Amino acid sequence: METIIFATKNKGKIKEINAILADMDVNVVSMEDAGITFDVVEDGNTFEENAMKKAVQIMEISKKITLSDDSGLEIDYMDKAPGIYSARFMGEETPYGQRFEAIFEKLSGAAEEQRTARFVSCIAAAFPDGRRLISYDTVEGIIGWEIKGKNGFGYDPIFYIPEKGKYMAELSPEEKNAISHRGKALRKMKGMLQKELVK
């Protein structure tokens, strides 16, 4: 069975990715489990550039097909910040609670229709033989007015999804994967990968 490395150090992503790829006929291994600790410098200007850089650099170390995810939260009222800088917004070590308060403060004058936001996920695949794949998807929502829910990770507790009447962090893992940026982008990638793996 083909081993595929997933180039991420984010435990929240790993859980979601394992669930989404569980039905694939491949052995998905995290970077940590593959013994790779290399830090990819995320200096691209887009989610696509950063995702491809992570996949290619870890593929070069592992010599195996490598997948990666570069993702983030775009808040329209903040000119799409934090965007590609979501992990580092206000500093990588800054607790999310502090980041939420700062975002609420920045949006304090924003009415509901001005609070639109989206999570973005870009999934890249790099094969040792040079093949490259990329997929991108989003989930739309609004920045809420309170911190709600215990599930998920990152900015999930302030991301309200009107269609669900819930914050992202209130969704079960299955519900989140069904609608999320990462769920959608990764299912597209799964389809593309399955075609490549039989070549």
Peptide bond into 82 cis (omega under 30): yes
Virtual torsion, Cα 6, 8, 10, 11, nearest 10 deg: 20
Catalytic residue, chosen from 39, 70, 79, 129, is 70
Q: Where are the alpha helices (DSSP H) in 79-172?
A: 96-106
Task: Tell me the helix, strand and coil percentages in the chain, rounded to 5.
Answer: 40, 25, 35
What minimum distance in Å lies between the beta carbon of 42 and Mg ion? Answer: 5
**Footprint (CB under 6 A) of ligand ITT, residues 146-165:** 152-156
**Strand 81-82 versus strand 116-126 pairing type:** unpaired
Give me the least distance between CB of 54 and ligand ITT, in Å please: 6
The verdict on 9 binding ligand ITT (CB under 6 A) reads yes
Nearest residue to ligand ITT on Cβ basis = 154
Cβ proximity to Mg ion: between 126 and 142 the closer is 126
Considering only residues 59 to 98 of the shown chain, the ones binding Mg ion according to CB under 5 A are 87
Residues belonging to the binding site for substrate are 8-13, 71, 153-156, 176, 181-182
The yes or no reply on residue 72 touching ligand ITT (CB under 6 A) is yes
Q: Can you say whether the dihedral through the CA atoms of 28, 41, 60, 180 is positive or negative?
A: positive
Task: Return the number of the residue (10 or 116) whose C-beta is nearest ligand ITT.
Answer: 10
Residues that bind Mg ion (CB under 5 A): 87
